[in-house]
Amino acid sequence: MTDIIMLPGLGGSGESHWQTLWERQDPSMRRFQPSSWDKPILTDWIAALEREISRSQTPPILIAHSLACQLIVHWAPMRKAAILGALLVAAPDPTGEVYLAEAGSFANPPPERLPFPSLLVASTDDPFGSFDHALRSAEIWGSAFANVGPRGHINAASRLGDWPEGKAIFERFRAQLG
């Protein structure tokens, strides 16, 4: 069984967020644990990611939402552990009109291709990152791209429940990883 590590964004994906609901439904999924979900520090989140990956028996798949997408992009060039791939959902734009002031250390991710398979999932009306930003990010990161239409920030506020469409996207991505 492949390990799957959930990487929520700021606030840690609450009780009604699809990441939390997926974790409850699938025992192969577990969440990484930084020191603070509300006062994120990039170096702490990188250390927490490395710790969680080191607990895996085989290279895991990462499922990142929002700020955790930038975590992965910062972590990838310096990573110590192998992963199978990363599903990146609702990557925020640190240069956009709405960005998380408390996440300043996550801004300016390196503009480099990710060294593992990735799929960026984006909404056409995400208040934290324009659709054009998502397309540019996918191109820079070498990520496949999935447009899910108008779904806001693809979070609990989007009222997606356990987001069956996202599960199907993830299952197709996982199948491609082998």
**All structural domains of the chain:** 4-177 (3.40.50.1820)
> 107: number of CA atoms within 13 Å, CB side?
12
Q: What is the pLDDT of residue 100?
A: 60
Reference 6, options 32, 26, 44; nearest CA is 32
What integer is the mean pLDDT of 136-141?
Answer: 97
- Provide, for the chain, the percentages of residues in helix, strand and coil under a 3-state DSSP scheme, each rounded to the nearest 5: 40, 15, 50
> 145: number of CA atoms within 13 Å, CB side?
18
Q: What is the pLDDT of residue 85?
A: 97
What integer is the mean pLDDT of 62-81?
Answer: 94
Confidence of residue 93 (pLDDT cuts 50, 70, 90): confident
